[in-house]
Amino acid sequence: MRTNKYILSFLVLLFLCLVNPDAWTENSTKTNVPSKDQSKKSEDGFIPLFNGKDFSGWKPINTAPSTWSIKDSMIHCTGKPIGELRTVRMYQNFIMEVEWRHLKPRGNAGIFIWADDITAKGQPFHRGIEVQVLENAYGNTRSYTTHGDIFPIHGAKMTPTNGRGGSRSFPTENRSNPSPKWNHYRITCIDGTIKLEVNGKLVNEGRNCSPRKGYICLESEGGIVDYRNLRIKELPGKPVPKEHVAIADRGYKCLYTGVDLSGWKVAQGNKKNWQVRDWVLGVHASQGTSTILESEKSFGNFGFIVDFKIKDKTQLLNLGLRGGQNAIIELFPITSPNDKAIANKNRWNRIEGKVIGDELSYSINGKEVAKGLSFTRNQTKGAIFIEAQGQLDLSNIYVRKIKK
């Protein structure tokens, strides 16, 4: 009879482990391997948001190839440079689940909801709603906590349900686990309302969000982070008014990695003039001496964006297009017609334009400066170059191809 008892106990234990393999260990760090058919819905209607093998469905925006990698079916982020990895698709109403862990204390990261296609002017982040992913040792203050804050960023809007006088909504409980333990987020987004469950309990909410349709982003912000078991369940919804829809993908690709000058050519003696400072590219050239940065790639018909900040010691800033022989935009010293569009010193500006055929059009800070400006075309393709003297900052150097 004693032997039969042992056999029966073994069979019960075996059955429980088959039903729940993670029952062997508490807070297991085992990674669940995705099924072969990533597009197949589970019984509860969820589908994988990451297939565990490659970055299908995702697009790096302003980071280096080394920033994001796949390890043991997880998305691994180095935290350098500060920037974003976003979905290829836009989402409106949905439930998203994700597990994350910081590998070092005081790590910083985040998840963006309903974001634009690229980063905001003079910023490494998108306009959107951020769900904070901070490690506990970062500390809690009246301005932020490490347990699941929700807040709008860079022009987005949200009404907090648990605010402290600003637009940030704070969690009602401290439920996140410290490094290197895993945490589970369940993010529910319906008609401009976002709710966050941390490790199984609803703790935060934001309402009246705008945008309320857009991209999902994972944020690189210094912390070494792993993400796993990303899945999503889309929910029905009514058409969203245009003013609440994020900017859709315009095809921009960033030419600056944030970690080095790969993709650019600079004279050997001038390399010290270009300072790679994470998402900012600084210029520090001697007085009266020009330094030039030239793209390795050539472009024909294309659109472009460059953010720049003029400082007290800025002496010269020119943007050359298609080799710069005949299409040069003089940004500093400020000349007409740019004088009324460029912001004061020490503030970020954004120049956005396009070159099609032998015509150049561009705007600065959203103000149209030139439309269909003719220039002599002596070549159909050419590099982009930046010429500078003195000290200034650049960021968000984007290019997109245009079919004529």
Read off the pLDDT of residues 77-113 as tens digits, 9 standing for 90 and up: 999 999 999 999 999 999 999 999 999 999 999 999 9
> Are 304 and 232 contained in the same domain?
no
> Are 212 and 356 contained in the same domain?
no
The whole-number pLDDT of residue 344 equals 84
> Are 236 and 340 contained in the same domain?
no
Task: Give the C-alpha separation, 97 to 199, whole Å.
Answer: 11
The whole-number pLDDT of residue 130 equals 98
Q: Cα-flanking dihedrals φ and ψ of residue 198, to 5°?
A: -110, 120
Q: Which residue has the tokens 């002496």?
A: 315
The whole-number pLDDT of residue 8 equals 46
Contact 153, 124 (CB under 8 A): no
> Are 188 and 56 contained in the same domain?
yes
> Are 344 and 222 contained in the same domain?
no
SS3 2: helix
SS3 17: helix
Give kind and range of the element (H or E) at residue 37: none
> Are 237 and 165 contained in the same domain?
yes
> Are 137 and 265 contained in the same domain?
no
Task: Give the C-alpha separation, 404 to 391, whole Å.
Answer: 37
CB atoms within 10 A of CB 3: 7
Q: Which residues pair with 349 in a beta bridge?
A: 308
State the total domains in the chain. 2
CB atoms within 10 A of CB 73: 15
The whole-number pLDDT of residue 340 equals 87
148 φψ region: left (φ > 0), alpha (ψ -120 to 50), beta (else) = left
Task: Give the C-alpha separation, 222 to 392, whole Å.
Answer: 24
> Are 47 and 178 contained in the same domain?
yes
Contact 114, 157 (CB under 8 A): no
Instruction: Give the range of the structural domain holding residue 299, as residue numbers without chain letter.
Output: 254-401
Q: Cα-flanking dihedrals φ and ψ of residue 176, to 5°?
A: -80, 150
- Where does a domain end: 249, 282, 311? 249
CB atoms within 10 A of CB 18: 9
Task: Give the C-alpha separation, 190 to 193, whole Å.
Answer: 5
DSSP letter for 35, please.
Answer: P
Measure Cα distances from 301 to 248, 328, 356 in Å. 20, 15, 5
CATH number at residue 138: 2.60.120.560
> Are 177 and 227 contained in the same domain?
yes
- Where does a domain end: 249, 269, 290? 249
> Are 139 and 261 contained in the same domain?
no
- Where does a domain end: 202, 223, 249? 249
23 φψ region: left (φ > 0), alpha (ψ -120 to 50), beta (else) = alpha
> Are 317 and 223 contained in the same domain?
no
The whole-number pLDDT of residue 40 equals 59
Q: Which residues of the chain have pLDDT under 50?
A: 1-38
Read off the pLDDT of residues 242-288 as tens digits, 9 standing for 90 and up: 999 999 999 999 999 999 999 999 987 788 999 999 999 999 998 77
Write down the number of H helices and E strands in the chain: 1, 26
Nearest residue to 69 (alpha-carbon basis) of 227, 231, 305, 276: 227
Q: Cα-flanking dihedrals φ and ψ of residue 32, to 5°?
A: -80, 125
Nearest residue to 183 (alpha-carbon basis) of 101, 97, 105: 101
> Are 231 and 350 contained in the same domain?
no
